[in-house]
Amino acid sequence: MSQLTFATGRRYDTKFLLDGRVKVDGFDIEYIDPGAAPWPVFRAMVTTLPYDIAEQALAHYLIARDLGIPLTAIPVFPSRFFPQMGATVNRRAGIVHPQDLEGKRVGTLGFGYNPAVWLRGILTHQYDVAAERVIWVEESSDPFLGGVAYPRSRRYSIEKRDGFMGSLSGAAIQPIEILERGGIDAFIPPSGGPPLTALTAKLFSDPLAEIRRYVESTGVFPINTVITMKADIAARHPELPKRLFTAFVEARRRYHDEIAEGKETNHMGLDVAELARMGVFPDCYGLQPNRAALRMMIHYCYEQGVIRRLYEPEELFVGV
């Protein structure tokens, strides 16, 4: 039996693999569990590639593939999210509508950081925001893609700033403090965003209403993470992708059973009953059920200049 390393965050269905309740047939997996926030794994898996298999943010995987980093993936997406939930603004910045972001300074962990790519695309296509007129301020020590020299289109105004990502980068200043002091006018956080204060507000006063409209117009529940593996591991073990996919399908079934039994009631901060009413949850793994979301993210990455070619989804995933 082959032994491989697999780093993934403990959440939703991955817990069933981490705890050994679901096995990958024919493989002895050593799991590396960074907890519910697997950011260090994301960065490592596009730089030093220390693991055979790893969870990765979708935009980061597309950037890595475009740069020729030897990774591949299976169509398994453990985490999904709506970036509309977390976008936060300084109340004094005069941002009432998304179009008010034009000319403002918007902080993000990195220009190609997954929530930033998704939200930038949504702002462009759903709200007619001229994203090229926004000043995108990225953390110099980008905890996700630091050390990865991916392209950035000259159409966008991009600044770098040291140390405003707080606990993610080890600096003392939190992004919420930068917002309150006016250093940036808005902030795109990793998930639901920091707690609001008297001086901060959500970009969308009713995020759920915006999410409903987005789903009605696109049918997409944006993908947060994907399961990747080293290309040489997939080549050396051609049976691995299918067996790993099969294990994840079983883990997802168990996760959905927990939802049906009332043990799990939210996914990335949203009530699963509401997601079910929108028709986007429970979800399925595989290429076909996720084609619309994948094509949209590929298009966003290409449009924003962080990848150089418009890929077809089949080019980016091994057959399962």
Classify burial at 34, counting beta carbons within 10 Å of its beta carbon; exposed 0-12, middle 13-18, buried 19 or more. Answer: middle
| pLDDT value at residue 11 | 86
With a cut of 50, say whether residue 141 has pLDDT above it. yes
Those residues with Cβ within 8 angstroms of residue 181's Cβ, 6 or more apart along the chain or in another chain: none
Contacts of 193-197 spanning 24+ positions with Cβ under 8 A: 193/85, 193/86, 193/87, 193/88, 194/88, 196/88
Domains of the chain: 2-80+222-316 (3.40.190.10), 83-218 (3.40.190)
**Per-residue pLDDT averaged across 250-259, rounded?**
96
Longest dimension (CA), the chain: 61
Q: Using one digit for the tens of pLDDT, what is the confidence trace for 175-185?
A: 778 788 778 99
Q: Letter for the amino acid at 157? A: S
pLDDT, tens digit, 9 for 90 and up, residues 74-121: 999 999 999 999 899 999 999 999 999 999 999 998 999 999 999 999
* Residue-wise pLDDT tens digits, 195-225: 788 999 999 999 999 999 999 999 999 999 9
How many other C-beta atoms are found inside a 10 Å radius of the C-beta of residue 272?
18
